[in-house]
Every structure is written in structure tokens, then in C-alpha cells.
Amino acid sequence: MNYQHKELSSGRWQKLSFMEQMANIGSEVERAILWREKNKDYARKALFRQLELLDLTIADQKNQLRLKELTRLREALVDYFAFDNQYHSSDRLWRSYFYPFNFAARRDR
């Protein structure tokens, strides 16, 4: 696989806490939201980066008990950004989902 986040994919990602991993994914989600109307190519690239980080999170052994949530999250993100939004997600929903991870990741530093 050709990773955008080469340093993270080489093992650094697994050293981050779950909260830090999710906060980083949330940052890419926010980028995709912000670029969606301004630049479709940038928004698409942000989608691919968020999915890459989410896949690294799914593969991380410490997150095995969260696989159901993580795989459902991946499904819902793809639905929202690339397909028909069958789950009726919104920018507000994604921001409210990821905000607590950002708060928790910063608190734990």
C-alpha cells in the first residue's frame, strides 16, 4: 500500500493513544468538510487520509475491543463523503463526534 502518512504507518501510529488516533482522524474529517465546497480534489485527498488513519487504527492491536465501532465509523464516513449519505450524517454530527477526542487527547498531554 502507498501510505500518505509513511512515518505513522511504519509503527509510530501504534504508539499514540486511542484518543490521539481518533483526534488525528477527526482533523482529516474536518479538512474534508472544509474543502468539500472549495476544492473537490483537496476534499477527496482528505477523505483518503482519514480512511488511511482509520485503517491504521483498526489494525492497531490495542483497539481490538473497538472494532465494531471503528468499522461502522469507516462505513459511515465513506457513506457521507463518497456516496449517498444513507445514514443522514451531517457536518455538525461529525464535528460533535470527533470534538471529545480532541479534548481528551490534549487533556492527556
What percent of the residues of the chain are helix, what percent strand, and what percent coil, each to the nearest 5?
Answer: 80, 0, 20
Which residues, 6 or more positions from 53, have their beta carbon under 8 angstroms from its beta carbon?
5, 8, 13, 21, 24, 25, 28
The CB-side HSE value for 100 (13 A sphere, CA atoms) comes to 4
Given this model, what pLDDT does residue 108 score?
Answer: 64
Give me the tens of pLDDT residue by residue for the chain, a chain 109 residues long: 555 655 665 678 999 999 999 999 999 999 999 999 999 999 999 999 999 999 999 999 999 999 999 999 999 999 999 999 999 999 999 999 999 999 998 886 6
Given this model, what pLDDT does residue 80 score?
Answer: 97
**74: Cα separation from own chain's centroid:** 8
- Locate the domains of the chain by residue range: 11-107
Specify whether the CB–CB gap between 57 and 21 falls below 8 A: yes
